[in-house]
Every structure is written in C-alpha cells, then in structure tokens.
Amino acid sequence: MVDAEFLAKLKSNAVLVNTARGGVLDQSALYKTLKERRIFAAALDVTDPEPLPLDNPLLELDNCIIVPHIASASVQSRDMMAFLSAKNLIAGVNGERLPHCVNLEVYE
C-alpha cells in the first residue's frame, strides 16, 4: 500500500507513521525516500520482519524512529482489549454470535 509511488506524493515536511502492519509499507522505498530527505521523517511501530535485523539500513537513519510494536501498550487500550475479549468469550460460551469477531467468514 505504501510504496515508492505513494511516498513520492508526500510533501517534504511529511512524517510517515506506521502502526498498522509492517507489510503495508515498502521499507526499501521508505529507506530511499528518507535517505534522500524527500520526506521529513518516519516513525514505525511495526516492521517486516519484526524485529528488524540489526544490519537493516533503516536503523542507521537519523530521521527514522523504530519502536518495538508498543502502540497499544496503554492501560486504557489493554483494558479495552480485555473487555472485548471477555465479551467474545461470554458470547461463545452461550452459543451466541461473537460481538467482536475478526474473521466473519466463520458465520458464512
């Protein structure tokens, strides 16, 4: 999804933030874009692979920050994850449709 063509459309002051999945971003294209300073910076919470090998060139850049997949590590976020999981569990035990099902094809 985020490839060289996409990156070329960004303004020079753009900051790319990826908290989705590592696979949605062409990391080689991002490296080239950042190295040439065509965008201002990038912040990656996810990479492909995860974790990145220590010799990955993205780690050498001063305009790229990479964190260890911690975007959801807040008390509020984790509490909500537990709440939604509990609602699914209760529905499943009661033979009901899961209210927060991520693979809806199970109901087809």
Q: Domain extents for the chain?
A: 4-66, 75-107
User: Of residues 37, 50, 60, 97, which has the active-site annotation?
Assistant: 50
Question: Residue 69 has which token pair?
Answer: 């997949």
Predicted TM-score (pTM) of the model is 0.71
Q: pLDDT tens across 88-107, in order?
A: 999 999 999 999 999 999 99
Q: pLDDT tens across 58-72, in order?
A: 999 999 999 988 877
Question: Residue 82 has which token pair?
Answer: 């537990």
Read off the pLDDT of each residue in 25-41 and give the average, rounded to a whole number.
Answer: 98
69: annotated active-site residue: yes
pLDDT score for 68: 87
| Residue type for position 80 | M
21: annotated active-site residue: yes
User: Of residues 21, 37, 97, 100, which has the active-site annotation?
Assistant: 21
Q: 95 — phi, psi (to 5°)?
A: 70, 20
Strand-pair partners of 43: 17, 65
pLDDT score for 11: 98
Q: 43 — phi, psi (to 5°)?
A: -130, 120
Q: CA–CA separation, 31 vs 60, rounded Å?
A: 10
Q: How confident is the model at residue 15 (pLDDT cuts 50, 70, 90)?
A: very high
Percentage of residues in the chain having pLDDT higher than 90: 86
Read off the pLDDT of each residue in 68-84 and give the average, rounded to a whole number.
Answer: 90
100: annotated active-site residue: no
Q: pLDDT tens across 36-63, in order?
A: 999 999 999 999 999 999 999 999 999 9
Q: CA–CA separation, 88 vs 68, rounded Å?
A: 28
pLDDT score for 26: 98
